[in-house]
Amino acid sequence: MNGQKAISVLLTSRERVRFDLSVSILADSPVYMFLRDWTDIAPWREFRCFMIGRELRGISQYHYRGGQQYNEIMDHETEIRSAIASFFPKFRDACHLDDVVFDLAYRGARDPILIEINPSPLSGLSDLCLFEREHLNGEFRFLRGAVSS
């Protein structure tokens, strides 16, 4: 119900948050935390994006581990790519890092929701989803089902 309660919940119930904060403290690196209202996101709407050298070097379906293919992605492929490409300059200009992995939620004609920013794709610390490091070439990758004729 308030900021203090939110921080308390994050610090006591999320191992990943505790680990990330510990690493930042040990590295004597500043910590920035942004909180926003909770938003339910359908799995097909979430994408992992890769910025290297301040260029968008790839977009991947985020939920891929179970081999799930989402027809909604195929149905909206052009619109998803366009929405992310339109949002990217705003993200790039606001971001203080040159190389990052960032997750977005597609929202149709509106700007995507920035979910989180992760370490550089070159660091080996972030899941590259449907990419391998040397193949971050600007593609939009997602699992495609069989296309009927």
Hey, which residues does 61 pair with through a beta bridge?
Answer: 47
Rounded distance, CA 36 to CA 129, Å? 25
pTM of the model: 0.81
Section 73-82 average pLDDT: 96
Residue 86 has pLDDT above 50, yes or no: yes
**Which among 55, 44, 62 has a CA at the least distance from the CA of 130?**
62
Domain ranges of the chain: 1-35, 39-141
DSSP 101: E
Confidence at residue 7, expressed as pLDDT on a 0 to 100 scale: 73
Give strand ranges (E) for the chain. Answer: 46-52, 55-61, 100-107, 110-118, 140-141
How far is the CA of 56 from the CAs of 51, 74, 92, in angstroms?
5, 21, 9
CATH architecture type of domain 39-141: 2-Layer Sandwich (3.30)
pLDDT tens digits for range 1-42: 677 787 777 777 667 777 877 878 888 888 777 777 778 999
Averaged pLDDT of the chain = 88
Instruction: Report which secondary-structure segment, H or E, holds 48.
Output: strand 46-52
pLDDT tens digits for range 122-144: 888 899 999 987 789 999 999 98
**Nearest-10 Cα torsion for 49, 107, 116, 81:** 10
Confidence at residue 14, expressed as pLDDT on a 0 to 100 scale: 67
Q: How many CB atoms lie within 10 A of CB 143?
A: 16
